[in-house]
Amino acid sequence: MLTHVPVLKEAVSGSTDDLENSSLFGQRVWKTQMVHLSGKNRALNEYSVERVGEKADETLVMLHGYGAGLGLFYRNFEPLSRVKGWRLFALDMLGMGNSSRPDWKINAKTREGKITEAEDWFVDSLEEWRRIRGIEKFTLLGHSLGGYLAVSYALKYPGRLNKLILASPVGIPEDPYAVSAELPDPEDSTIASEFTDDQESIVRRTSTDERPARAGDKKPVAKKEEPKRRQLPGWVVWAWDANVSPFSLVRFAGPLGPSLVSGWTSRRFNHLPEPERATLHTYAYSLFRQKGSGEYALPYLLAPGAHARRPVIQRIRDVGRQVIRPAAGGAPALRECGLPIVFMYGEHDWMDVAGGLAAEVRIQRRIEEALRTATPDERRRENGSAKVLVVPNAGHHLYLDNPDDFNTMVRWEMEQTRSHEQTRRRTETS
């Protein structure tokens, strides 16, 4: 996939001294490596981009969705690395992509314990990677399941994020069937759109609105149509609950595996140029056929139809409000004072933008509550905000369906973050 990334050059043996500045946006180099973590067979595949000859004050970390890999962001690496003062990292989550694939095992006995253990499998590895890389704070961008886990990371490891960007995150809205053990799993869902909609129809579909949402808009343009819901076949519900991974079907299919994968890639990404589509198919098949590992977390986190068992909407008000330093020696506890959270959806996303809008309301209410009881120092440090952006002519894979608008919106958020952090640092040193 990296062969389709323009302009960026590979850093050879870690040296960048002999590279010429051949880009309007500055010379940038990339490299990939495995970052080994503690324990047996635990390592994260890392792709990084740095701007040559510049000091990087800010860091963007990108997390992919379920069963995918960092290579799907190939149309975002160059545009996002144009922003001065930033370095970029994209990671394959533990047990997915080209990261190591440890044996999957859940030891917890309770329902809540299993959910927590499944989330920790991913967020603990991200935190260990951060410590190894010596990154103090960073902006975290997560797509789909990566967005869900980004929220989990923010709650478990407070004080490490400057901003949270959730791109078509899974698990935001509350569904009674997914969170109650007494009720059966839901029988319908919008997830079927991921396998039936084709990209060309999505990106060329006539907009339902007069104008698209752009970076900086206070409110997104709401979709007028209701999300499509389809009946889930009984065997899908059974396979989900039995933890039969969809990638197991690819592995069991043997020589027919490539055909199964091409059925999805050729339809879902048929808008891409043929060389990119062919490479994406090869890349997807190479990931799907590897040993099952992190993929087995899915039924512990989501019920059939991608309804969260621990909905983000129930937890989002606490993001950016955790204790960083407990009270000690007569000094009061130090708490986070809010965190900018950006929800991004495709205009024709099967993830419902209403979930993001509801989360925005809860975050705003939490900000109002915090300010009513805040100390002068806490008022000065207050940094909470929430917004919902809609990427026009895009579906669930908004970063690939319409990379131009997606990249523009994310770059704007990066510029705003850098400006805020520069002001904060000047204030603290004055």
* Catalytic-role residue among 197, 349, 401, 405: 349
Tell me the whole-structure pTM to 2 decimals.
Answer: 0.87
- Tell me: the pLDDT tens digits for 275-330? 999 999 899 888 988 998 999 998 899 887 778 999 999 999 999 999 998 888 88
- pLDDT in the model for residue 248: 67
Is residue 396 flagged as an active site residue? yes
> What topology does CATH give the domain 2-180+200-227+305-429?
Rossmann fold (3.40.50)
Q: Which of 396, 397, 401, 405 is catalytic?
A: 396
User: Residue 28's pLDDT is what?
Assistant: 95
What residues does each domain of the chain span?
Answer: 2-180+200-227+305-429
Catalytic site includes residue 124 = no
Out of 48, 81, 125, 144, the active site residue is 144
HEC profile of the chain: CHHHCCCCEECECCECCCCCCCCCCCCEEEEEEEEECCCCCCEEEEEEEEECCCCCCEEEEEECCCCCCHHHHCCCHHHHCCCCCEEEEEECCCCCCCCCCCCCCCCCCCHHHHHHHHHHHHHHHHHHHHHHHCCCCEEEEEECHHHHHHHHHHHHCCCCEEEEEEECCCCCCCCHHHHCCCCCCCCEECCCHHHHCCHHHHHCCCCCCCCCCCCCCCCCCCCCCCCCCEECCHHHHHHHHCCCCHHHHHHHCHHHHHHHHHHHHHHHCCCCCHHHHHHHHHHHHHHHCCCCCHHHHHHHHEECCCEECCCHHHCHHHCCCCEEECCECCECCEECCCCEEEEEEECCCCCCHHHHHHHHHHHHHHHHHHHHHCCHHHHHHCCCEEEEEEECCCCCCHHHHCHHHHHHHHHHHHHHHHHHHHHHHHHHHC
pLDDT tens digits for 325-366? Answer: 888 888 888 899 999 999 999 999 988 899 999 999 999 999
Q: For the chain, which residues score pLDDT lower than 70? A: 13-22, 175-266, 430
**Active-site residue 168, yes or no?**
no
